[in-house]
């Protein structure tokens, strides 16, 4: 079985959104390994001086115990186009290091920067992020049929910054743009991708 991983944003030495990462780690330990255990990643993670300034990705790899913690400088990659990829069998409920099924879909993206996965006619995620669509009223909506329960997505829903809705393949044209969000990328960190750039 592949190791699990938490990817956590560290900005100027501060660990962000940690309570949501704790929740997902606890849930993953219980559902994958049958372990019921409280965990506080903030007590386990020690931010080194080298990650004290700027934005870093903290990767915590684990199975029934933490096996590796590393800090990597992070720059948001530009995504300006998405290829619609249909896969009715795709499943990614836990954040595994091994992502062969998603990588296989990424190889089908052609000249697009990333993919938007459609499962049973429903919009799910991109290859590495949850998605949010801007509606005609300027509100941001995220599909209820996501693949991975993202920490940023959960935080934004709880704060009321986005809402959840059923979004089918045929609904995409009703929105004006889409953004990718994950632990490292907030809704204000990137420009929106126009719906016309979903191929």
Q: What is the pLDDT of residues 39-86, one digit of tens each?
A: 899 999 999 999 999 999 999 999 999 999 999 999 999 999 999 999
* Residue 14, pLDDT above cutoff 70: yes
State which of 73, 105, 134 marks the end of a domain.
Answer: 73
Are residues 137 and 193 part of one domain?
yes
Q: Write out the residue range of the structural domain in which residue 15 sits.
A: 4-73
What distances in angstroms separate CA 163 from CA 47, 125, 135, 142, 160, one per listed residue? 33, 15, 11, 6, 7
Question: 99-151 pLDDT, tens per residue?
Answer: 999 999 999 999 999 999 999 999 999 999 999 999 999 999 999 999 999 99
Indicate if 51 and 19 belong to the same structural domain: yes
Domain count along the chain? 2
* Same domain (yes/no): 102, 186: yes
pTM above 0.75, yes or no: yes
Confidence of residue 37 (pLDDT cuts 50, 70, 90): confident
Identify whether residues 64 and 92 lie together within a single domain: no
**Using an 8 Å Cβ cutoff, are 82 and 179 in contact?**
no
Residues 60, 87 within the same domain: no
DSSP code of 121? T
Domain boundary, last residue among 49, 73, 97 = 73
What pLDDT, on the 0 to 100 scale, is given for residue 2?
79
For residue 166, the cross-strand partners are: none
Q: Which pair of tokens denotes residue 22?
A: 């704790």
Q: What is the structure's pLDDT at 38? A: 86
**pLDDT at 96 > cutoff 70:** yes
| Lookup: tokens for 155 | 């935080």
Rounded distance, CA 102 to CA 183, Å?
18
Res 22: pLDDT? 96
Last residue within a domain, chosen from 73, 103, 130: 73
Angle of helix 18-33 versus helix 151-159 axis, rounded to 10: 120
86 and 143 within one domain = yes
Q: Are 169 and 122 in contact (CB under 8 A)?
A: yes
142 with 99, same domain: the answer is: yes
Does 104 lie in the same domain as 49?
no
**What's the average model confidence in pLDDT over 7-16?**
97
185 and 88 both lie in a single domain: yes
Structure tokens given for 199: 């191929």
Sign of CA dihedral 157, 160, 162, 165: positive
Q: List the beta bridge partners of residue 82.
A: 114, 198
CATH number at residue 141: 3.20.10.10
Q: What pLDDT does 1 receive?
A: 61
Token pair 């009321």 is found at 160
**118 with 188, same domain?**
yes
């Amino acid at each position: 079985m592949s190791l699990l991983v938490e990817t956590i944003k560290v900005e100027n030495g501060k660990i962000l959104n940690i309570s949501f990462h704790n929740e997902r780690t606890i849930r993953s330990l219980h559902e994958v390994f049958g372990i019921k255990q409280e965990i506080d990643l903030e007590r386990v993670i020690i931010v080194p001086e080298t990650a004290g300034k700027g934005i870093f990705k903290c990767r915590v790899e684990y199975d029934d115990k933490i096996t590796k913690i590393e800090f990597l400088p992070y720059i948001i990659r530009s995504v300006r186009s998405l290829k619609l990829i249909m896969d009715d069998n795709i499943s990614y409920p836990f954040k595994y290091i091994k992502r062969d099924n998603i990588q296989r879909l990424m190889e089908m993206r052609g000249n697009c920067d990333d993919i938007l996965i459609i499962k049973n006619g429903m919009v799910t995620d991109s290859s590495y992020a949850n998605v949010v669509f801007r509606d005609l009223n300027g509100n941001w909506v995220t599909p209820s049929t996501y693949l991975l329960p993202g920490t940023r997505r959960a935080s934004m829903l709880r704060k009321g910054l986005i809402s959840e809705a059923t979004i089918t393949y045929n609904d995409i044209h009703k929105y004006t743009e889409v953004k990718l969000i994950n632990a490292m990328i907030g809704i204000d960190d990137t420009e929106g991708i126009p719906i016309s750039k979903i191929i």
